[in-house]
Structure 1
Amino acid sequence: METEQEKSVMIVGIDDSTESIYALEWTLDKFFFPYTSNHPFKLVIVHAKPSPSSIIGLGGPGVIDVCPLVDHLKKIAARVSEIAKEICNSKLVNDVIIEVVEGDPRNVLCEAVEKHQATILVVGSHGYGAIKRAVLGSVSDYCAHHAHCTVMIVKKPKTKH
Structure 2
Amino acid sequence: MADAKTEPAPAAAVTAAAEDQQQQKTVVVVGVDDSDHSYYALEWTVRNVAAGMAGAADLVVVHAKPSPSSVVNFGGPGAGEAMRYVEADLRKMAEAVVDRARRVCIANSVHALIEVIEGEPRYVLCNAAEKHHADLLVVGSHGYGAIKRAFLGSVSDYCAHHTHCSVVIVKKPKSKC
Counterpart in the other structure of 1:44: 60
Summarize the alignment of residues 1-161 of structure 1 with structure 2, pairs less than 5 Å apart: 3-34=21-52, 38-57=54-73, 63=77, 64=79, 65-94=82-111, 96-161=112-177
Unaligned runs of 5+ in 1: none
Deviation, structure 1 residue 39: 2.9
Q: Report the aligned-residue RMSD.
A: 1.7
So what's the TM-score if we normalise by structure 2?
0.83
CA contact (8 A) 1:11 1:121 kept: yes
Alpha-carbon distance in 1 for matches of 2:51, 2:140: 19
Distance 2:150 2:76 in 1: 27
Q: Higher Cα Rg: structure 1 or 2? A: 2
User: Retained in 1: the 8 A contact 2:66–2:90?
Assistant: yes
- The alpha-carbon deviation at position 62 of structure 1 amounts to 5.0
| Structure 1 contact 43–97 (Cα < 8 Å) conserved | yes
Alpha-carbon distance, 1:6 to partner: 2.6
SS at match of 1:117: coil
Residues paired across the two proteins, number: 156
Q: Deviations for 1:76-133, whole angstroms, at most 9, x for unmatched residues?
A: 1001101111000000012x10000000000000000111111100000000011111
Is the CA contact (8 Å cut-off) linking 2:37 and 2:140 kept in structure 1?
yes
Q: Percent identity?
A: 54
Compute the TM-score of the two structures, normalised by the length of structure 1. 0.90
Shift in Å, 1:160: 1.5
What SS does structure 2 have at the residue aligned with 1:157? coil
